[in-house]
Amino acid sequence: MRLGIYGGTFDPPHLGHLTALKAAVRELELERVLVIPTFIPPHKEQAAGMASCEDRLKMTELCFGDAPGAGIWDGEIKRGGRSYTIDTVTEIKKLYPDSEIVLLMGTDMYVTLEAWREFERLLGLVTCGVFIRNSGEEDTVRTHELRLREMYGAKTEIIPNDPVEISSTELRELLPKRQGREFLRDEVYEYIVNKGLFGVKADFDWLRCKAYDMLNERRIRHVAGCEAEAVKLAKAWGCDVELAREAAILHDITKKLDLEGQLNLCSEYGIIIDEIERSELKLLHSKTGAYVAKDRFNVCGEVFNAILWHTTGREDMSLLDKVIYLADYIEPTRDFEGVKSLRAKCYEDLDGALCLGLEMSIADMEQYGVRPHERTANALNWLRKGEHYDNTERDG
């Protein structure tokens, strides 16, 4: 069997890695490739802002796991300590004694081979599979190939590869800017967002796709309207626009679930609910939505709270809480008596509008025989006492 070995830190593994692996399988007719994430000591990982061994291994599985011929080998991570290629190759040779091992590497690695530990023994055990990106690299490889063959009997095969122009280092810089997603497999990107690796902030297009997948048609229009309104309000009142956008996109993600589904999520996340909430879908979805947003999309505390309180309001609402509560209430697809004047008030007097919104909400519920939640009354009392002015200044 022709068996490829493809090692790397894979921090994170990206489409450039995947394209290279596929090129190797195709060009060299490899039956199998072992993808091997390198062990890196935890203190070094932390110092360099890298992901842990466990996370790199998981991302590697998500990136390559279903590529034809690929298998993940965690031997270097399990072994710990510094791994030399010769140790790994020796171990693999024991596991696959009848295989022809093809060691995959870039041109930069190939030209330094003679500095590797026990390189002569290594060259006796493997065929070098070298990725070349252009004719310049091909010339370099050909020159070295000749010498390495004559001096050490080395075997070399060339893998033409149309590279994806990205590196893991560049990706680690792009991800906190809500960029770079196009260079990653969706599964890997989702894992990075979910675990909050590399200080990632979720790309808004991606976040919308994920949120809209959980909603029905009508709700999608409402959420899109809410996002637009939240951004407008955030700009008008000096609130963080990105957090407002994120909270608005995610605020109703569990809205489609029935009572049973909501209660299941409550027990799954250990959400404490009171008597009124237990029977009220409208109240439950804001709580479950906040927990799902935190669990799946790793939202920060401010976004979590804005989602958590978007239905009832509460005492001590932050500026973001107010923006989301009101955007949800007045977004362009909303149509009820008084919506126009409430909309106008939102841009003149935010707290006055919030007061009015809470009053309208209480009146609305009473009309339908639903007991308003005491948090809504508390929010209203707090606003009427004027304590909110301090809070707004603090937030602003």
Q: What residues line the site for Fe ion (CB under 5 A)?
A: 252, 328
Which amino acid, residue 303?
A: V
Residue 185: CB minimum distance to Fe ion, A? 32
In 242-363, DSSP assigns E strands to none
Structural tokens at position 132? 């070349």
Structural tokens at position 393? 């200044």
Please give the Cα distance from 13 to 9 (Å, whole number): 8
Residue 256: CB minimum distance to Fe ion, A? 11
- Geometric angle at alpha carbon 265, from 259 and 271, rounded to 5°: 105
Q: Give 390's strand partners.
A: none
Q: Which is nearer to Fe ion, 34 or 284 (CB)?
A: 284
Nearest to residue 34, comparing CAs of 4, 76, 64, 79?
Answer: 4
Residue 267: CB minimum distance to Fe ion, A? 21
Residue 369: CB minimum distance to Fe ion, A? 20
The DSSP code sequence of 95-117 is HSTT-EEEEEEEHHHHTTGGGST
Q: Which is nearer to Fe ion, 202 or 326 (CB)?
A: 326
Q: Which is nearer to Fe ion, 61 or 252 (CB)?
A: 252
Q: Which is nearer to Fe ion, 53 or 230 (CB)?
A: 230
Residue 331: CB minimum distance to Fe ion, A? 8
Residue 273: CB minimum distance to Fe ion, A? 16
Q: Which is nearer to Fe ion, 246 or 252 (CB)?
A: 252
Contact residues for 315 (Cβ-Cβ < 8 A; gap 6+): 375, 378, 379, 381, 382
Residue 350: CB minimum distance to Fe ion, A? 19
Q: Which is nearer to Fe ion, 3 or 248 (CB)?
A: 248
Task: Count Cβ neighbours within 10 Å for each residue of 158-172 and write b for 16 or more, e otherwise.
Answer: bbebeeeebebeebb
Contact residues for 358 (Cβ-Cβ < 8 A; gap 6+): 313, 376, 379, 380, 383
Residue 237, classed as helix, strand or coil, is helix
Please give the Cα distance from 179 to 195 (Å, whole number): 17
Residue 255: CB minimum distance to Fe ion, A? 6
Contact residues for 220 (Cβ-Cβ < 8 A; gap 6+): 212
Q: Which is nearer to Fe ion, 302 or 328 (CB)?
A: 328
Q: Which is nearer to Fe ion, 17 or 222 (CB)?
A: 222
Residue 49, classed as helix, strand or coil, is coil
Place of tokens 């010339």: 139
How many Å separate Cα 326 from the centre of its chain? 28
Which amino acid, residue 99?
A: S
Q: Which is nearer to Fe ion, 221 or 296 (CB)?
A: 221
Residue 330: CB minimum distance to Fe ion, A? 11
